[in-house]
Amino acid sequence: MSNSILTFLNSVVLYSIPLLYASLGVLFMEVAGVVNMGAEGMMIIGSLVGIMASNAFGNVWAGALIAMLAAGAFGALFGFLVIELRINQVVLGVAFNLAGYGLTTTLNRAFSVDGIILKCTYFKDALGFYPPVYIGLGLVALVWIILYKTNFGIQLRSVGENPMVVECMGISVKRLRYTACIIGAMLVGFGGSFLSTGLLSRYAEQMTDGRGYIALAAVTFGKYTPIGTLAGVLIFGAGDTLSLRLQAGGSGFPYQIALMIPYVLTVVALCFFSHNVHDPASLGVPYTKNR
Amino acid sequence: MKETKKNKANEFLGSLLFTKNLKASGFFEPIVSIFLAFLFGSIVILLIGENPLSTYKLMFGGAFGSLANITNTFNKVTTLTLTGLSYAFAFRCGMVNIGAEGQLYIGALCSSIVVLRVPGPAPLVILLALLAGFLGGGLFGLLIGFLKVTFGANEVITTVMLNYVAQYLVLWAISGPIKDPNSLTAQTAVFEESYWLPSIFPGTKIQCGILLMVASLIFFGIFLWKMVAGFEMQVVGQNSSAAAYAGVNVKKNRLLSMFLAGGFGGLAGAIEVLGVQHRLLKGVSSNYGFDGIAVALLGNNTPIGMFLSGILIGAMKSGGNNVQMFSKVPSSVVDLIRALMIVFVLVNALHRFLKKREMRRDLLNV
């Protein structure tokens, strides 16, 4: 019995990891006042680029790096559009997701016949975990230190609350928001690449299955703190694992209903935790200097 | 003299689009966006190793090349414009509805259940099925509105999540309760022919759903621009605090707009199963809900605009299969180009940005 609980917890952790990276990326952008509704698109690009580059270089770490660069480039573009042109972040994010799906599906169908299979892997430890599992957990602590114990983090959070004050202190709002966009997108991209190169060893069309949106919900659930976000991610990971168990086990439970679990869980969590969250005051509000 | 004539024409065309004049309607910006999206699409097509121009030619041929193609195109236009209407209704009340896909699934499910389970004369059952599709989608949309106004749950995330839920619900229904007992795959039986939506031109398969679509667009225009309730809804969309201050019930308007948005998404699903597919399949929607976002944004959320952009996106979609058949380019390139169109419509702000920069430069010169 205790053994089966352990394996359950084990897969909860494993299934949480792509979402954890994505959520930390989203968190990074949102504390700086940028809504990353485009996380889904950045993630799927990370998944495809990650597995293609891994196969090309014969090394998953190189693949992950290229995936991060690709997603980072998309983050920079997203940043340019929302910071300079002050485009509606929510609708632009959705458009990014649709473009990400369109681009990855087109490239995948044009260049591979039966989907892409990973040819190399991360090394596994005795628990069945890959190094990115530990890096991810360490990253939660690192993000906490950055956000709450460094000057940069305090500036970043201030930009999310009141950019005018930051500008008055002589710090560039734009530079901070660009940094947040690029770092955030890179983390999201790594989450995507871990999905195709760590959790599974293949690429499937639209394999992120809404995880980019779930990441946003996890950040709201975590009240914009790294530790809270981790808690949210683990709950969604548990939902994912439960859903998989119910699909596989001969419990007679209809698998189509089991598939709904992560999504229903997200909606329920949003409902219960949205109203008493203090969003960063300037979240989604474009900043103009001369106002 | 010539000037005034031009202005008159400008104003007349603009009034068709429910704005002061043609220029103010933003008629030109979508055209630039469409052009840029095809241009960027060409880069991907070149990357795949095909000729963009011949690819787009294939697309056009696939959309309008034969009577069968035109039929297919207009049936797609019907569904797409209705999902576009779903986005637009929520947009006009200040909400972002990404849930047309799920509303379409629920609408298709509800009207399939009516057709398969309710006995009675065929015309009555068809009407009932259309109504059930509208109501089913509407209640599904209302749920989103309810979660938004009661709990403050972000409607973009909840709509996307419920899209998945709706798809799996349909999958469950067609593999259990309403499954065709004679089939191995998850699908319902083909509806009896008397329950199909009749075609408007005898001899073609363009079904009368297109009339319902046009009627819905007219309703959209009249409701929002000629009725007090619609005016209130638009005020809420533009500034909800000002609306509340003026005594408009913001919550009620949000709920109503999400109900109507969901309703038209559901109607799209009902028409799709009753008029086009004649059975409920797992993939009843091929991303129609997301195409609707492009239809609404390209059409500037106005009735005439959406009618035109609906034809464009519908033609692209039905031409996409031709592209896939006769070249190395997969049909999903259409999804990419359509997403880029949305990005470029939004980027039209670029235009404004550059203008502002020029103004600033002029100020510096002085």
Asked whether B327 and B58 are in contact (CB, 8 A), the reply is yes
Residue B294 belongs to some domain of the structure: yes
ipTM score of complex: 0.90
The total number of structural domains that make up chain A: 1
Task: Name every residue whose Cβ is closer than 8 Å to that of residue A143 and which is 6 or more positions away in sequence.
Answer: A24, A27, A28, A226
| pLDDT tens per residue, range A233-277 | 999 999 989 888 888 766 778 888 889 999 999 999 888 888 777
Task: Name every residue whose Cβ is closer than 8 Å to that of residue B15 and which is 6 or more positions away in sequence.
Answer: none
Residue B217 belongs to some domain of the structure: yes
Burial of residue A250 (number of CB atoms within 10 Å: 0-12, 13-18, 19+): exposed
Confidence of residue B241 (pLDDT cuts 50, 70, 90): confident
The three-state secondary structure class of A117 is strand
A187/A67 Cα distance (integer angstroms)? 10
Chain B CA closest to residue A205 = B332
**Chain B closest CA to A265's CA: distance in Å?**
9
Q: What single string gives the DSSP state of each residue in B34-68?
A: HHHHHHHHHHHHHHHTS-HHHHHHHHHHHHHSSHH
Residue A287 belongs to some domain of the structure: no
Touching check for B162 and chain A: CB below 8 Å?
A: yes
For A269, the domain range is: 2-126+134-273
Asked if residue B341 has pLDDT above 70, the reply is yes
Touching check for B337 and chain A: CB below 8 Å?
A: yes
Position B363 scores a pLDDT of 60
Residues from chain A that touch B159, judged by Cβ atoms under 8 A, are: none
The long-range contacts involving A168-173, CB below 8 angstroms and separated by at least 24 positions, are: A173/A287, A173/A289
A180/A79 Cα distance (integer angstroms)? 9
Asked if residue B200 has pLDDT above 90, the reply is no
Residue A232 belongs to some domain of the structure: yes
- Its sign, for the CA torsion B350, B353, B359, B360, is negative
Lowest-confidence pick of A223-232, B102-111, B177-186: B177-186
| pLDDT tens per residue, range A267-287 | 998 888 887 778 888 888 888
- Contact call for B152 and A90, based on CB within 8 A: no
Position A201 scores a pLDDT of 87
Asked if residue B225 has pLDDT above 50, the reply is yes
Asked whether B311 and B77 are in contact (CB, 8 A), the reply is yes
Share of chain B above pLDDT 90, in %: 58
For A43-143, strand residue ranges (E) read 116-117
Distances (CA, A) of A107 to A118, B234, B328: 17, 41, 11
Q: Provide the total of helices (H) and of strands (E) in chain B, helices listed first.
A: 15, 0
Position B366 scores a pLDDT of 43
Residue A252 belongs to some domain of the structure: yes
Residue A101 belongs to some domain of the structure: yes
Between B203 and B194, residue with greater pLDDT: B194
Residue B358 belongs to some domain of the structure: no
For B315, the domain range is: 67-345
Most confident of B27-31, B141-145, B177-181: B141-145
Helix (H) or strand (E) holding A203, with range, is strand A202-203
Cα–Cα nearest to A120, from A58, A195, A61: A58
Position B26 scores a pLDDT of 63
**Chain A closest CA to B109's CA: distance in Å?**
15
Confidence of residue B349 (pLDDT cuts 50, 70, 90): low
The number of beta carbons lying within 10 Å of the beta carbon of residue B206 is 20
Cβ density class A112-133: b for 16+ within 10 Å, e for less: eeeebebeeebeeeeeebbebb
φ, ψ (nearest 5 deg) of residue B124: -65, -45
CATH of the domain at A245: 1.10.3470
B240/A148 Cα distance (integer angstroms)? 35
**Chain A closest CA to B95's CA: distance in Å?**
10
B294/B271 Cα distance (integer angstroms)? 20
Asked whether B144 and B97 are in contact (CB, 8 A), the reply is yes
Over residues B148-171, mean pLDDT: 93
Task: Name every residue whose Cβ is closer than 8 Å to that of residue B193 and which is 6 or more positions away in sequence.
Answer: none
CATH of the domain at B228: 1.10.3470
Q: What is the pTM of this model?
A: 0.89
Chain A CA closest to residue B175 = A256
Q: What single string gives the DSSP state of each residue in B218-275?
A: HHHHHHHHHSHHHHHHHHHHH-HHHHHHTT--HHHHHHHHHHHHHHHHHHHHHHIIII
| pLDDT tens per residue, range B64-110 | 988 889 999 999 999 999 999 999 999 999 999 999 999 999 999 99
Chain A CA closest to residue B147 = A271
- Amino acid of residue B217: L
Task: Output the average pLDDT for chain A.
Answer: 89
Burial of residue B168 (number of CB atoms within 10 Å: 0-12, 13-18, 19+): buried
Residue B261 belongs to some domain of the structure: yes
Over residues A108-114, mean pLDDT: 79
Chain B, residues 132-151, CB within 8 A of chain A, namely 147, 150-151
**Chain A closest CA to B201's CA: distance in Å?**
35
Chain A CA closest to residue B43 = A103
**DSSP H helices in A112-225:** 131-149, 151-161, 163-168, 173-194, 211-221
Burial of residue A255 (number of CB atoms within 10 Å: 0-12, 13-18, 19+): middle
Residue whose entry in the numeric block shows the structure tokens 């959309």? B63
Q: Which of B96, B160, B346 sits opposite A87 (nearest CB)?
A: B346
The total number of structural domains that make up chain B: 1
